[in-house]
Structure 1
Amino acid sequence: MIKLISECFVKPKYVTESSKKLYHLSPGDIVMLSIDPIQKGLLFSLNNHNNTTEIVSNLVQNLKHSLSIALVHFYPLAGRFTTRKLENGSSIFIDCNKGPGARLIHARALNLSVSDIVSPIDVTICHCLFDLGEKMVNFDGISKALLSIQVTELLDGLFIGFSINHTIVDGTSFIHFVSMLSEIYNSTHSFSSYNKIVHISRMPVFNYNKFWFDGDPEEDSILKIPVLNLNQLIFRGYNPGQLRERIFHFSSSSLKNLKIKANQECGTHNVLSSFLALTGFVWKSITKARNLPSNQETKCFLAIGIRSRVDPPVSDDYFGNIVSKAEWGCKVEELLGRDLGWAAMNLHKLVKAHDGNVITDFYKGLAKSPFVIPRGFEEDPLGETGLIMGGSTRFDMFGSEFGLGRALGIRMGYANKEDGKITASPGCEGGGSVDLEICLRPHVMATLESDPEFMQFVSYN
């Protein structure tokens, strides 16, 4: 289905003093070593163009140049991980000059059109649009690219798939890089000379170690993990089992109605956000579809961006992982026996309680005793009874255009898929709409799709 046309590795256009130094990972980075990269991509139509192959070839060449400039600013993405033995432990960091650089792939989908990507109910077909379908965990950045971009030529369009090592970036940093790469591309691809100096509107901020440590941040920046061989913490054999992956579209009017409903049921006005109302609604709907015992415990896990929650706040330009996860649970009979407002209000209280003191205490403890999350544990330790809501509707992926206009849609790859995993993105229709990629066991997905109470809020594009 996918034919490799070309592959190359891209280094920064020039080396800076900063990129000559070793790049030390933060406690929040190290936690991610055993899970998958972040994979998101953009689908573009070329339906009105005659020579799709020529357009894609030119885009790949211009992207190669733009990437070399972007890597001057985002230099850790061009390197590889390196480990070092310490007394009673080991450390891991990035050598920014190790390895051949970031990976750039040009591929052709022999029988895929734009409609095959944007229209199907299930979206597993998109796995091959990232890293040629090859799989890795973040720790494999010792020998594999920390950043990989695959440009796939379709019959009437193209797809740009970004895979970035999740040990280096959270969702905020991922979007930061993609948007700056697009900014560079749009400012340089029309120039015949490639010697133009390009400045970007948002420079990344590195080495924010002072946030994590009570002592000297430079002295404490090398974190010791209490094992001599990091390989023993990495689990590559995790299999999530059979899943269906589907994108559900929620229009701005559907979200408004859910928000009004949740607030009315709680007797509040605008206290509950549309996103928390949506989360509570989806949690209730999936729990119902699973047909769990009434006394079974179910939990909702929320991935929470914490940059604005700490004091002083951490800039969105900081490049790294500053995220946290909060959870709230109850019995199935409670969740399904109460209204939407009850579920949304409890999630609201959970988020409010996750303040700067809680976050800072957790990360300072993590700095003293770093650990790696075991694969498969982080998503649903209860065993197919809970769900985790990741992603964000605030990540402006659609703002990255690469000279092609607004993308038709955002799609994800194989990475970090579990039963009950939900990834939120801005809706393809804009206007405050939301797209949710939901991963469920096939029989549960079929039950959810046949639930009129759930589907009445789903729109079709």
Structure 2
Amino acid sequence: MRSAKGVVRILFDRIVKPRPRAVAGGEAPAAHPRRCELSLWDLSTLSFGYIQQGHLFSLPSGDPPVEVIVERLMSSLSIALWHFYPLAGRLATEMDADGRGMFVHIDCDDQGAGFLLATADGVTVADVLAPSEDVPSFVRDFFPLDGAANFDGRCLPLLAVQLTKLEDGFFLGYSFNHSVGDGTSFSQFLNAWAEISRSKADGSGHLSKPPMLERWFADGRSPIRFPFTHEDQFVERFSPPPLRKKMFHFTGASIRQLKARANEERGTDKISSLQALGALMWRCTTRSRRLPDDQKVGCGLMADNRRRLRPQLPPAYFGNSISVIPFTATAGELLANDLGWAAGMLNQVVASHTDAAIRGMVEGWMASPWVYRFSDLDRHSVLIGNSPQFDMYGCDFGWGKAAGLRCGSASQFDGLFFSFPGREGGCSIDLEVCLPSEVMSSLESDVEFAQVVYTGEKL
């Protein structure tokens, strides 16, 4: 494997703009709105980094050639951007009349998205997958806009894509401004773009599942006054400490067994696969951290609010609609009880995340707005991000199923567990784990963890 230093070279950096005439019948659609207001969920992410995820594709024969791949991606992206026009805009701010706050919105002026072509000489698909090793450090160079905060979307593209050529394939890395949408919206956009890319009807731009772009506001009014006057008051430039990042694989069989064990120990059938896996990781990580019994430890789950609101938001809602649902115990309490106890506690807090609870959280935020900051995260806790339900392997751009999925450095802090669907399907899950070196080593040798994680070659 080549050294990470100097591996990735940028060959070109361009802007892809929406193609207005890319619709069925060749007729230009009505002009889209120029302004898109941000909801409270959008505003709360302004200090976080971009969503950085990517697809690894294996093309050992070199067919199709990279020139064909680039042309197809750029032309289909221009069509996708017309359907998802906020992604082609930039963030904009306006000061409140009293000078004590600001309004942040998306200026949908069609400036375009970034598209970069790069090469990583000597790097193979197998080097990137590295199933028994840590995620290689050079993977972070497969993503554009590294280190950018969402609020930087005032001058940076809200979406940037980097195609990196490998010796026997390529990596397609995406940086997606989190203030524009959450993981559900990100997955929705990728699948729509892939649908356009593999379509044989050139220029039709038809989508089987078009997005719903109107934002949700609790009281039906917008815009929301943000009580800050300068980015220094709410944007935090976060530099994570040295961490190991590794992808762990859990087969469908092991996940089903883990779920059955948790439900049996709890005496229920309500615990989900992700709740059971979250409980396992919470317990094993806490044990690996060797914390005192009285230390408070939390486990946070990301919850989609769309189907919990009354009335429900449509699945095609494009924007942020997520909440972090935490549960806290002491380290001694967590480890003295069994897996079913921990999974049952997570199940209870998820079940309590109802329309009333969401609206209560919204009311509290509107009374005293805040943003997520990495420094607010408890280093004794864990956070389960993303979702194995996102159809990431369904993103077929025209050259088949991806060989793997990876994240960029924006999704890296102590205690983050990023979940993906396993490539073979069937309830399998991949979990990208970020921990300090000594904690990661302890986790890898934890008996309870070793009984569940897959330790053979990646399926």
The match for 2:450 is 455
Shift in Å, 1:18: 4.9
Distance in 1 (alpha carbons) for counterparts of 2:324 and 2:373: 15
- For the structure 1 residues 457 and 125, does the alpha-carbon distance in structure 2 shift closer, same or farther, using more than 3 Å as the test? farther
Does residue 135 in structure 1 map to residue 136 in structure 2? Answer: no
1:427 corresponds in structure 2 to 422
1:188-227 matches, within 5 Å, as 188=200, 196-209=203-216, 211-213=217-219, 217=220, 220-227=221-228
- Quickly say closer, same or farther: Cα 1:7–1:184, change in 2 above 3 A: same
* 2:272 aligned residue: 273
Confirm or deny: 8 A CA contact 1:42 1:407 kept in the other structure. Answer: yes
CA distance in 2, matches of 1:364, 1:296: 31
1:21-36 to structure 2, matched below 5 A, reads 21-36=34-49
AA partner of residue 221 (structure 1) = S
1:148, distance to aligned residue in structure 2 (A): 0.6
| CA displacement, residues 321-349 of structure 1 (integer Å, 9 cap, x when unaligned) | 00011111111111111111111111111
8 Å CA contact retained: 2:252, 2:429: yes
Alpha-carbon separation, structure 2, partners of 1:42 and 1:228: 38
Contact 1:16 1:72 in 2 (8 A): no
* Structure 2 match to 1:373: 372
CA shift for structure 1 position 431: 1.4
Question: Is residue 2:154 matched to residue 1:175?
Answer: no
Runs of 4+, deviation exceeding 6 Å: none
Name the structure 1 match of 2:307. Answer: 308
Structure 1 residue 417 displacement after superposition: 1.2
Between the aligned partners of 1:197 and 1:364, the Cα distance in structure 2 is: 43
Equivalent of 1:107, from 108, 112, 118? 118
TM-score by length of 1: 0.92
Q: Number of aligned pairs?
A: 439
Per-residue CA deviation, residues 414-440 of structure 1 (Å, 9 max, x unaligned), is: 113110001111012221100000100
Q: Measured at CA, do residues 440 and 201 of structure 1 come closer, stay the same or move farther in structure 2, by a change above 3 Å?
A: same
Which of residues 438, 445, 449 is equivalent to 1:443? 438
- Identity across the alignment (%): 38
Letter in 2 for 1:452: V
Q: Which residue pairs with 1:38 in the alignment? A: 51
Tell me how far 1:239 sits from its aligned partner.
1.9
Q: In the alignment, is the contact (CA less than 8 A) between 1:85 and 1:91 conserved in 2?
A: yes
Residue 20 of structure 1 deviates from its aligned partner by 4.2
Unaligned segments of structure 2, at least 5 residues: 1-6, 21-27
What's 2:316 paired with? 317
Per-residue deviation, 1:271: 2.1
The partner residue of 2:9 within 3, 17, 29 is: 3
In 2, the alpha carbon distance for the partners of 1:18 and 1:448 equals 54
Distance 1:385 1:227 in 2: 30
- Residue identity matched to 1:434: I
Provide the residue aligned with 2:387 in structure 1: 392
Give yes or no for contact 1:19–1:76 (8 Å, CA) kept in 2: no
Q: Residue by residue, what CA displacement relative to the aligned partner does 1:28-87 show, whole Å, maximum 9, x if unpaired?
A: 00000000111111111101x1x46x6222111111110111111100100111111112
Give the match for residue 256 of structure 1: 256
CA distance in 2, matches of 1:414, 1:18: 37
Which residue does the alignment assign to 1:58? 68
CA RMSD after TM alignment: 1.6
Q: Counterpart in 2 of 1:162?
A: 174
Which amino acid counterpart does residue 38 of structure 2 have in structure 1?
A: L
Once the two structures are TM-superposed, the CA of residue 267 in structure 1 deviates from its matched residue by: 2.3
On the 8 A contact 2:18/2:85 being kept in 1, the answer is yes
| Residue number among 96, 114, 130 corresponding to 2:108 in the alignment | 96
Aligned counterpart in structure 1 of residue 95 of structure 2, from 69, 74, 85: 85
| Compared CA separation, residues 369 and 207, structure 1 to 2 (3 A) | farther
**Residue 413 of structure 2 corresponds to which residue in structure 1?**
418
Which residue identity does 1:227 align to in structure 2? Answer: F
* Cα distance, 1:85–1:17 mapped onto 2, change above 3 Å: farther
Deviation at 1:364, TM superposition (A): 3.9
Equivalent AA in structure 2 for residue 84 of structure 1: E
Contact 1:33 1:138 in 2 (8 A): yes
After TM superposition, list the pairs within 5 Å mapping 1:291-302 onto structure 2.
291-302=290-301
CA distance change for structure 1 residues 16 and 371 in 2, over 3 Å: closer, same or farther?
farther
Q: CA deviation at 1:233?
A: 1.4
Deviations 1:79-118 (A, max 9, x none): 11111111221111111116x4100111111121000011
8 Å Cα contact 1:35/1:416 also seen in 2 = no
1:19/1:97 contact within 8 Å kept: no
